[in-house]
């Protein structure tokens, strides 16, 4: 072996030895973060068993296992209070956390609900004991961020409204069953009227279930507002009435009526919860302003005055925002609440709604800028509101059409919902009403950019843009309007 090769081999051996020493020193020196909150605990919740971990300095048995019965939950609260634990971190797993959260909250213990995406588990085999200890450690060093949860009075109304949405979905399933039964009898009523649960549809179906089979007599029950003619309705009701399909139609109708009755009863109780919400404004001193746009009662909307209750709770009339109706305002009220102080800015509020891009940056470059997936019900309501602005003539409608031409329909809906969220945040936090004139500056800025872009394109093609007034002065004749190109 030559001298140069021996020297190279010796250098490599020394380098390996140095790396080994460095790795050994790193393992010997355990990096520990300073404890910010020693009075914390970590809880891993399951359906039948709950693991609770505290600091070893607080108790000789820092990790304990409890059952999930109410007496066990009270035992957890008593044990934590005896150790002077003031804050607890737990995962928001399903709905299992709700009973323990309420018990700890009533005992004056702060509960930090943690999204599982926001922290990583310890390496190695996953166990519930390690989960609760890891949660306790991260919470004690201040590395956990609590999820947003409205006040209890808002959560109570939210529970009822979510249950109402479930009732609507179950009623809709039975409407599909009714349509299937009618289709099997070759009754085409659902194809000539828009809704078989409307006045005309319910009249005709009730008559069929009572034994009427004459298409002429059934067509007479048509409401005058139906666009389809009486002759078209008559043809759609000439079918093959069979007993088995009539039975399924009757039972589907009974199930649909049952859920409609359930919703009516729930609305009475939900109205009481809406009345109990804390009011930001006194209706006697500041009455509800007159509606700026015609109010149309949405399908499956409750009978009580949603607009009044939302105005009283928020202090502003959200229905003045284009696309926001009273049911949408109710969803925002029950999902978010009138207190937005936990969001330091409109950007953070939009980020919580998952309505803004989530930029993955590496090396100073944006690798991916897509909106995070989420199931936030308030974001869903804002997206539905954004879809209704396609023909709106105001600033937000113009913004939606501009984004649709630039990005596509799906991205335009997200961008418009983001704008609606920022407007909602500004109105609720400042208490100022919606003013379309505030967007005049933005519209003028967009018009200036558009004019500059057109001038650049005209110069590139060898033309020069002349304002219409100047063109009239130069030619002495009024400008001829441009013809639409088909």
pLDDT at 284: 84
Task: Share the mean pLDDT of the chain.
Answer: 86
Tell me the C-alpha distance between 381 and 426, whole Å: 18
pLDDT at 287: 87
Length of the chain: 486
Is residue 53 classed as helix, strand or coil in its secondary structure? strand
Is residue 112 classed as helix, strand or coil in its secondary structure? strand
Tell me the C-alpha distance between 309 and 154, whole Å: 13
Q: Fold for 40-140, please state it.
A: Nucleotidyltransferase; domain 5 (3.30.420)
pLDDT at 370: 80
With a CB cutoff of 8 Å and minimum separation 6, the contacts of 160 are 266, 269, 270, 273
> What spatial distance separates the first Cα and last Cα of the chain, rounded to whole Å?
85
CB of 273 closer than 8 Å to CB of 157: yes
Residues facing 67 on adjacent strands: 49
- What the block records as the tokens of 151 is 């006040």
CB atoms within 10 A of CB 347: 14
Task: Name all contacts of 232-236 with Cβ < 8 Å and 24+ positions apart.
Answer: 232/192, 233/189, 233/192, 233/193, 233/200, 235/188, 236/187, 236/188, 236/189, 236/191, 236/192
Residues facing 365 on adjacent strands: 362
Kind plus residue range of the DSSP H or E element containing 110 = strand 110-114
pLDDT at 33: 72
Considering only CA atoms, which of 486, 338, 356 is closest in space to residue 424? 338
- What the block records as the tokens of 177 is 């069953």
Tell me the C-alpha distance between 279 and 283, whole Å: 9
Tell me the C-alpha distance between 44 and 185, whole Å: 55
With a CB cutoff of 8 Å and minimum separation 6, the contacts of 291 are 307, 319
Token look-up 């974001």 returns 379
- What the block records as the tokens of 61 is 């048995």
Tell me the C-alpha distance between 416 and 404, whole Å: 10
Q: How far is the CA of 384 from the CAs of 195, 349, 379, in angstroms?
A: 21, 18, 9
Tell me the C-alpha distance between 416 and 355, whole Å: 9
Task: For residue range 279-315, list pLDDT tens digits in order.
Answer: 998 888 888 888 766 666 777 888 888 999 999 999 9
Q: Kind of pairing, strands 365-371 and 357-362?
A: antiparallel
> Buried (b) or exposed (e) across 227-257, using 16+ Cβ within 10 A?
ebeeebbbebbbbeeeeebbebbeebbebbe
CB of 73 closer than 8 Å to CB of 88: no
Token look-up 């609590």 returns 146
Task: For residue range 24-54, list pLDDT tens digits in order.
Answer: 555 444 456 788 888 999 999 988 999 999 9
Tell me the C-alpha distance between 321 and 305, whole Å: 18
pLDDT at 95: 87
pLDDT at 178: 96
- CA angle, residues 179, 202, 204, in degrees to nearest 5: 85
Residue segments in the chain with a per-residue pLDDT below the cut of 50: 27-30, 122, 124-125, 480-486
Q: Kind of pairing, strands 87-91 and 40-45?
A: parallel
Sign, Cα dihedral of 387, 390, 391, 396: positive
Query: Which pTM value belongs to this model?
Result: 0.81
């Amino acid at each position: 072996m030559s001298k140069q090769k021996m020297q190279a081999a010796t250098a490599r051996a020394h380098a390996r030895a140095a790396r080994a020493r460095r790795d050994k020193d790193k393992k010997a020196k355990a990096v520990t973060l300073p404890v910010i909150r020693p009075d914390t605990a970590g809880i891993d919740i399951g359906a039948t068993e709950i693991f609770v971990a505290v600091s070893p300095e607080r108790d000789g048995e820092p990790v304990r296992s409890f059952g999930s019965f109410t007496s066990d939950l009270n035992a957890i609260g008593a044990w934590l209070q005896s150790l002077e634990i003031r804050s607890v971190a737990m995962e928001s797993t399903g709905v299992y956390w709700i009973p323990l959260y309420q018990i700890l909250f009533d005992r004056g213990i702060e509960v930090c609900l943690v999204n599982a995406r926001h922290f990583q588990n310890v390496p190695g085999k996953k166990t519930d004991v390690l989960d609760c200890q890891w949660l306790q450690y991260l919470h004690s060093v201040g590395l956990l961020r609590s999820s947003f949860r409205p006040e209890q009075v808002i959560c109570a109304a939210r529970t009822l409204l979510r249950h109402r949405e479930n009732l609507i979905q179950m009623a809709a399933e039975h409407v599909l069953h009714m349509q299937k039964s009618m289709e099997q009898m070759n009754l085409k009523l659902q194809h000539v009227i828009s809704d078989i649960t409307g006045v005309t549809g319910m009249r005709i179906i009730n008559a069929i279930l009572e034994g009427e089979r004459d298409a002429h007599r059934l067509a007479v029950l048509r409401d005058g507002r139906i666009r389809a003619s009486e002759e078209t309705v008559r043809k759609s009701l000439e079918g093959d009435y069979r007993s088995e399909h009539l039975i399924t139609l009757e039972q589907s109708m009974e199930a649909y009526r049952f859920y409609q009755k359930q919703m009516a009863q729930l609305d009475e109780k939900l109205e009481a919860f809406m009345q109990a919400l804390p009011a930001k404004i006194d209706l006697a001193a500041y009455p509800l302003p007159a509606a700026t746009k015609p109010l149309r009662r949405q399908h499956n909307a409750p009978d009580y005055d949603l607009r009044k209750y939302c105005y009283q709770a928020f202090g502003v009339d959200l229905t003045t925002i284009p696309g926001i109706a009273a049911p949408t305002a109710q969803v925002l009220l029950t999902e978010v609440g009138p207190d937005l102080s936990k969001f330091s800015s409109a950007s953070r509020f939009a980020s919580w709604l998952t309505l803004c891009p989530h930029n993955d940056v590496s090396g100073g470059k944006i690798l991916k800028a897509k909106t995070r997936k989420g199931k936030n019900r308030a974001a869903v309501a804002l997206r539905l509101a954004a879809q209704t602005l396609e023909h709106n003539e105001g600033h937000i409608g113009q913004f939606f059409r501009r984004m649709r031409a630039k990005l596509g329909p799906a991205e335009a809906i997200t961008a418009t919902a983001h704008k609606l969220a920022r407007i909602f945040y500004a109105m609720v936090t400042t208490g100022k009403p919606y003013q379309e004139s505030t967007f005049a500056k933005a519209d003028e800025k967009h018009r200036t950019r558009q004019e500059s872009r057109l001038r650049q394109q005209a110069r590139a093609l060898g033309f020069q843009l002349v304002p219409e007034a100047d063109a009239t002065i130069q030619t002495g004749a009024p400008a001829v309007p441009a013809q639409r190109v088909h």
